[in-house]
Amino acid sequence: MSDTPPEPNDLRALGERLDALKRQVEPPKRPSAPTSGEIAIRFATELLSTVLVGAAIGFGLDKLFGIFPVLTVVLFLFGAAAGIRNVIRASKEITERTAAAARAAEDEKKER
């Protein structure tokens, strides 16, 4: 081995050759459509977490200020609204994922 460091151009060329070999060995990952279980867990998590956090913050503030049911109910409703908004956002994301998987399947059929 030599004591001189390798040249940057040599390292770049080596990296490009390694990347080319890796592409030959590994097939490209194609997007997959989410399963119904994934969708159900995602929606339940999105909705339940925001409702629970809103109610917990409201309950804590009610205990702090001594006005028990007021802030719990208000922040529970805000949490429910935020949860519904998150579920809508998640459904758009899942729709895009499903469409990408369908496009990848169509492209694969065309290549054959």
CA distance 13 to 111: 30
Report domain extents, the chain. 8-111
pTM of the entire predicted model:
0.70
User: Where does the pLDDT of residue 1 fall: very low under 50, low under 70, confident under 90, or very high at 90 and above?
Assistant: low
CA distance 109 to 88: 32
CA-to-CA separations, 57 to 6, 52, 62, 67, in angstroms, rounded: 58, 9, 8, 13
CA distance 98 to 105: 11
Residue carrying structure tokens 């629970």: 52
* pLDDT tens, position by position, 65-100: 999 899 999 999 999 999 999 999 999 999 999 999
Return the half-sphere exposure (C-beta side, CA atoms, 13 A cut-off) of residue 107: 9
Q: Can you give the pLDDT at residue 94?
A: 96
Helix, strand, coil % in the chain, rounded to nearest 5 = 80, 0, 20
